[in-house]
Amino acid sequence: MSPTTIDAIGYAAALLTTFAFVPQVMKSWRTQSTDDLSSTMLIVFTAGIVLWLIYGITIGSMPIILANAITLVLSATLVVLKLRRPP
C-alpha cells in the first residue's frame, strides 16, 4: 500500500473512533448526567488517550495526533461533568 493510502486509512479510523464518542458527550452535556458512566473507565480511558497522543507526537503521525487530541477534549469534558455531579 502506498503511504497516501495508509494515511487515508489512518484518517478514516481517526474520524470514526473519535466522532463515535460525540453522542455520549452531547447526551451527558444535555442531561448533565454521567451516572451511567464508570469513573474508573473514564480515568483509564483518558490516561490511554494521553499516552496515544504522546505516542503520535513522538512518531509524527498526524492521524494519531488529531484523533487523540480531539478525543482528549471529549473525554476530559466527560470527566469534568462526572466530577461536577452533585452529591
Element of type H or E holding 86: none
Q: Where are the alpha helices (DSSP H) in the chain?
A: 3-19, 22-31, 39-59, 62-83
Give this prediction's pTM: 0.82
| Domain definitions of the chain by residue range | 3-83
Grid coordinates given for 30: 444535555
Joined grid coordinates for residue 28: 451527558
26-73 pLDDT, tens digit each:
998 899 888 888 989 999 999 999 999 999 999 999 989 999 999 999
Q: Please tell me the CATH code under which domain 3-83 is placed.
A: 1.20.1280.290
C-alpha distances out from residue 22 to 7, 41, 45, 75, Å: 23, 17, 15, 9
Question: Which residue has cell 477534549?
Answer: 73
Q: pLDDT tier at 87 (50, 70, 90 boundaries)?
A: low
